[in-house]
Amino acid sequence: MLVLTKNMDLGKSIFKFGRVLHYTDNTVSEASKFRTSTDITPHGDRKQIHRQSLIENVTSSSEHDVTVVTAYFDLGTFRKGSAKHFSTETYLSWCKIFRYLLNPLIVYTDSQKFYNLMKNIRNETVTTTRIHLIKRNSSWAFQLRSNISKVFSQKGYPKHYPNTVLPEYACAQLAKYDVISRASRDDVFKTNYVMWLDVGYFRDRKSTNYFSLRRPIGYNESRVAMNVIHANTNMAMSVTDIFRNNLVWVGGGLVFANRDIISRYETQLKKAVDYFLSRRLMNTDQQVVYALFSDEGRRGIRPHIELQLNTPPADNNWFYLGNIMLREDLPFISSSTNNRTKQRI
């Protein structure tokens, strides 16, 4: 596990949990000097100071009181849908967007390669980053692999790639609720809110401006916020049809909740997973959530934590919730006095 602490001395080495970390950072002291000095510092230093100022503003603002959690479990190359193939390199390319995320970030992975890359990507935001190298079987989701495999191996069980073909993929999707709950219990960054964010959620974002994710406007503190994919979904659909036909109601790429609520929701979702496995049904977390809140699922499981639905203007907008939560911070433009003034926002 990588543990990086604030205000490290220049050139200091830290030994923590079996790893020696050599880290050099005088950003905080330089930022303090900059605030009390009228001298013009080199462009690179001012850009670093501006970045640190943005980070401090995010972590101290109630509007951005959100810890972001993500994970990557290396499943190798697998087929996605009818033609696409995703590989380790696919996810390694997507994760580079986390360089520009200002929120506190917690990462879980079983891949040394992904661990090393994320460590490098977040080297400018180490004080607000934790990266955990874990064994996948430490998650209850992966401990269900054998049972999920038996479901997928049933004669005539529909094959939707990779959802109902690769048991590890279903496990990885369910594991998001495990790791987000872990992060909530650990509460390293003392935020009121915690959210799951897929590694590839902002893969289409081209901007290199820093950005942060804030609490959705109008969020109900007792619910879990998710993104609606199909607004007119039939909640009377049988759970068998939901799983076997690979049906989707809400997207699993972003899950947002009050820190105290998410652990209770994880317990509820795990209960649903066990229930559907007992009925020899399984797919990804998206089908579990749809089936859980369907009329039939409510009768069988009686969920007590409800969803807060964020519905885009049109169906199949998978990234709507993340985009309305996103605030892009101004880039550091130039070294002129006028522009330095503009940056003090």
What would the pLDDT profile of 39-63 be if each residue is shown by its tens digit?
334 545 555 555 666 656 554 555 5
Has residue 123 got a pLDDT over 60? Answer: yes
Predicted local distance difference test score (pLDDT) of residue 108: 98
What would the pLDDT profile of 76-94 be if each residue is shown by its tens digit?
999 998 878 999 999 999 9
Q: Is the dihedral of CA 250, 254, 260, 266 positive or negative?
A: positive
Task: Give the pTM.
Answer: 0.80
Domains and CATH numbers, the chain: 2-343 (3.90.550)
Q: Specify the 3-state DSSP secondary structure of 85.
A: strand
What would the pLDDT profile of 287-340 be if each residue is shown by its tens digit?
999 999 999 999 999 999 999 999 999 999 999 999 999 999 755 433 333 433
Tokens read off for 9 = 């001395």
Among 71-80, 114-123, 329-338, where is mean pLDDT lowest?
Answer: 329-338
Predicted local distance difference test score (pLDDT) of residue 208: 93
- In this prediction, residue 180 has a pLDDT band, given cuts at 50, 70 and 90, of very high
Residue 10 vs residue 225, higher pLDDT? 225
The 8-class DSSP code of residue 111 comes to -
Pairing status of strand 78-80 against strand 66-72: unpaired
Percent of the chain past pLDDT 70, that is, above it, reads: 77
CA–CA distance, 24 with 13 (Å, rounded to integer): 9
Predicted local distance difference test score (pLDDT) of residue 329: 77
Pairing status of strand 211-213 against strand 326-328: antiparallel
Predicted local distance difference test score (pLDDT) of residue 336: 35
Tokens read off for 125 = 């935001």
Q: Is the dihedral of CA 157, 159, 165, 170 positive or negative?
A: negative
Residue pair 68/91 in contact by the 8 Å Cβ criterion:
no
- In this prediction, residue 220 has a pLDDT band, given cuts at 50, 70 and 90, of very high
Q: What is the mean pLDDT of residues 103-108?
A: 98
Q: What is the mean pLDDT of residues 99-125?
A: 97
Among 54-58, 100-104, 184-188, 189-193, where is mean pLDDT lowest?
Answer: 54-58
Predicted local distance difference test score (pLDDT) of residue 147: 98
Predicted local distance difference test score (pLDDT) of residue 330: 58
Predicted local distance difference test score (pLDDT) of residue 82: 80
